Amino acid sequence: MQVCYNLEQIPLLHTRPAVSVGNFDGVHVGHQALIKALVAQAAEASCPAAAVIFNPHPLALLRPQRQVFLITPLEARIRLLEDLGVDIILCLSFDQALAALSPHDFVGQILVRRLRARWLYEGYNFNFGRSGKGNIALLRQLGDLHDFQVEQVEPVMMEGAPVSSSRVRQAVAGGDLSWAAQLLGRPYRLWGRVVRGAGRGGKLLGMPTANLEVDGLLLPPPGVYAARAGLTATGRVYSAVFNLGLNPTFSEINTPRLEAHLLDFSDDIYGQEIWVEPARFLRPEKKYERIDLLKEQMSRDRGEVRKLLADKDVYNPEKES
């Protein structure tokens, strides 16, 4: 797969591609249905399957007063789209110039002149161009003008409503990780770089933690979770105790900190990317008056994680018995 970060990087295509434009935050089951239809068309026509995505999220520019927390960071979105069979990803910087393009100019300059699209696959609620004035009806008109075919992919419905990134955000923010996993078609996952923390996890508590830098990402409610964690570089996966909160026992911070203690693991992974899948909420954070009481609770947390994650269906809370 080839990733292009501007129009000049688009390779010379010998056959006109099948293209889909969207933010694809989360790459949830609705996105997956759309991309699978795109890839199937590309395979049938022996042409590339291309996706046009944006960074940062368009709402960060269009509605700066409304903070949008990403379900998946850019690198993860790219990997997920690649896994679905996309051949070319054009990642455009969503800036004032791009936002100002009219629907006609967006199609003419990017989809026609640069990508030479033969097919456009979009969802039922697709909007594009300045102020989102472009829609499927206009896209079909432009397709007739520029010789490309528009295919509208119907939404994936769950519990009477289309699957959407907004519904995933609501599920995760509300702590319903089982429902989020159904909407995503996989467990909810956080990606981040390991940064240095206070260093007390290993030295003082005997439980070294990886502190994650995940600015701008969607987070579940604060607390302690049973989780799975993996190293992106090696693919190794570990059971983990995942903590999201303010470390009230030490009272040193006023913004949430994310820490993952990987069971049976002690390597130095500073600077590396890891992912964490919080699978089951264990308990809220609590301030302990003595360090030994905190250590005892952490030991119990580890034991509970080992027991819970032996169950492959840990994301289904109704399986408890």
DSSP string, 23-52: --TT--HHHHHHHHHHHHHHHHHT--EEEE
Q: What is the CATH number of the domain that holds 204?
A: 2.40.30.30
Give the CATH number, domain containing residue 55. Answer: 3.40.50.620
Q: Does residue 151 have an active-site annotation?
A: no
Examine the domain organization and report whether 194 and 133 are in the same domain: no
Domain limit, last residue, from 144, 162, 180: 162
Flag whether 181 is in a domain: no
pLDDT number for residue 198: 57
* Closest by Cα among 5, 27, 1, 10 to 189: 27
Residue 202 is predicted with a pLDDT of 46
pLDDT at position 317, please?
54
Cα distance between residue 294 and residue 291, in whole Å: 5
Of 162, 181, 198, at which residue does a domain stop?
A: 162
Number of H helices, E strands in the chain: 10, 14
User: Could you give phi then psi for residue 155, rounded to 5 degrees?
Assistant: -70, 155
Query: Does 44 lie in the same domain as 145?
Result: yes
Does 133 lie in the same domain as 48? yes
* pLDDT for the residue 226: 95
Q: Count up the domains in the chain and report the number.
A: 2
- Using one digit for the tens of pLDDT, what is the confidence trace for 13-70? 889 999 999 999 999 999 999 999 999 999 999 999 999 999 999 888 888 888 889 9
The structure's pTM equals 0.89
Supply the range of the domain harboring residue 270: 189-315
> Are 16 and 135 part of one and the same domain?
yes
Is there a domain that residue 174 lies in?
Answer: no
Reduced DSSP (H G I as helix, E B as strand, rest coil) percent helix, strand, coil of the chain, to 5? 35, 25, 40
Q: Say if 116 falls within a structural domain.
A: yes
Q: What pLDDT score does 207 carry?
A: 75
Per-residue model confidence (pLDDT) at position 200: 52
How many whole angstroms separate alpha carbon 41 and alpha carbon 109? 23
pLDDT at position 260 is 92
The DSSP call for residue 7 is G
- How many residues does the structure list for the chain? 321
Q: Are residues 13 and 134 in the same domain?
A: yes
Q: Which two tokens stand for residue 171?
A: 């599920």
Kindly state whether residue 275 falls inside one of the protein's structural domains. Answer: yes
**pLDDT tens digits for range 171-190:** 999 999 999 999 999 999 99
Which of the following is catalytic: 259, 285, 289, 296? 259
Judge if 251 and 135 occupy the same domain.
no
Mark whether 303 and 208 lie in a shared domain.
Answer: yes
Consecutive 10-residue averages of pLDDT for the chain (321 residues): 93 93 96 98 97 93 86 95 97 95 96 96 92 93 96 96 96 96 96 76 64 89 94 91 75 73 89 93 84 86 90 57 37
Within 13 Å of residue 278, how many CA atoms lie on the same side as its CB? 26
Residues 297 and 152 in one domain: no
Tokens of 98: 């791009």
